[in-house]
Structure 1
Amino acid sequence: MDLIGHFPSTEVQKDVDPMVDVGNLLLIDRQPVTSDSDELKDRARNNTQLLLNAIWQLERQQVEDAVVAILPAPTYRLPREKIIPQPRQPTKWELYAKAKGIKKRTKDKKKFDDLTGEWKPTYGYRRGNDSTKDWVIEIPQNAADPMKDFFEERIEAKKERVAKNEMQRLKNIAKQLNSTVKKGESTDKLIGVGVNPMEKTKQQVRFAADRARAATASAGKFQETIKGEKPNVKTGKKRKFEPNEGKITEENKRALQIFDKIKAKKIKIIEEKAAEIAGPNSSDEGKKERGKKGKKPARMKSEVHRQQWFKNKIKSKKSASARGGRKGKK
């Protein structure tokens, strides 16, 4: 059975030549569109065949078990939602390595720790051969001060290295963001580096100096001051809490002070709330009742009179029941 006659030909004839951009795998048909669905299907098939014919005319190569075509540069500019990202600017180290011909070498992620006899990460948490984890340090013979803390010296050196790397990282970010010294305050707010000191205000310079002085292990307590420098008064207030255990006399003194403050306060009487609690005045109610009914208001009994009335009533009931019991016995 011949199946070749059932498939359409790969050769397509168009009245108006379409625009074909193989780099973008794009074909634009310039013929006017009709409303006939069958004609639209045939046009879609023919346009796809034209694009595939153009692809098969390109240079091809074999990658593993597949044959791929090498696409040329696109000729039609497609619309984009966002701008094309700019290439990243090289860092100072990358420029230096390129000038000196230094090539990047891949380092092993793990190395052998001689102390524990295990393979540990080369960098980061629980790294191998960590000098800051040594339990003993040999004092060198040419040490200027053999009594100083060499453990603390290693920890401080590590902190300085980390701070230096962080500062260099921030500078590289500023360079990639195309931030210059002319931006001044915006750059200072962004990362705090790369700002021309001449463009800073007096308050910004003072704040930067105070921040640098406090960036030590002692929070600037033992930092030397510059000759003629005035101490910063606006350092901020810190809350101070009293100790949990103190002298009894001081606690009694504080308690008495609190009592005196409470005693010295004057009671504020709000007339509206006092009137609501006290209730309506009897004279006012009497006047209202007189105006409505034309009669004098009934006399208000106090709570004591009401209680006495209830007691007398209970006694009278008991006496009446007692008399009735006696008559029944007779």
Structure 2
Amino acid sequence: MADKSIAVEKNIDPIIDLGNLLFIDREPILGDASEGLEERARKNTQLLFNNIWQLEQKRVEEAIIVKLPTATYRLPREKRLPEKKEPTKWEKYAAEKGIKKRKKDKKVFDEATKEWKPTYGYRRGNDNTKDWLIEIPDNAEDPNKDFFAERREKKKERVAKNEMQRMKNLARQMKTTVKTGPSTEKMIGVGVDAKDKTKQQVRFAVDRAKLATASAGKFQDGLKGEKANIKTGKKRKFEANEAPVSGEKERALQILQRMKSKKAKIVEEKAAAIAGPPKEQKEKKEKKGAKGQTRQKSQIHRQQWFKNKVDSKKKNHGAKKGGKK
């Protein structure tokens, strides 16, 4: 197949916005719309690339790139513009004092292991809580206390303080205040006064507190007159991780069979409802009904015959006893 020409001619000049990589073909479609669309799309794409490669080119390593111009069309956004966040307490203080944020390295060299490790987070470098030996300072008030536990407690306090500051910043943005602790609302980290909470919100907070135990509230005692918790939502059920292949194959075949037969079943039911039962089925049903009535009558006669026979035996037996006497 021969390569097609890159030269493209248009009867009506198109609208090309290279900043958005937008190409608007203004030529009208004549005749059947489905004919010639593939060739038309190829030509439009080729013309767009021709205009792109007319821009100033630059080589970066092994790739050739071009700098797109400023867009002329304002395309609509999918979502609205995010609102500007209110600066935190530290950001306000830094702006007042002229403190500029210094970017720290993500990796730090750990002297103990002689490796480069993350500065913060999991397995961070120079973590003093992981030291196996701590030198007791000369001015220590109690040299016999547990310095390892003291470091761990100080770390927990720092984490709790940062979390409280984060919640206060969120509360400041939401125009609320943090009262006694984390909120039980859907807005995580925003406190709500207990007097302002509704009955459902208080109930939700109590249920969350009970389920926070190790037994998930199984052995948690209830208050006097407290109603039982009504669980909402469906409990998810999962199949076993280890299962025989035959069972999985059978389930897959059942699902496939239901998918294949679902549409056909609906069509047959609709057709049967519209057309009604066929003539042969009607005749069979009528014959079956007639046979059923005949069988029912014969069964009644048979029962009557047995009853008469039993009654006659009883009479004969009574007559014989009377003759013997």
TM-score, normalised via structure 2 length: 0.45
TM-score, normalised via structure 1 length: 0.44
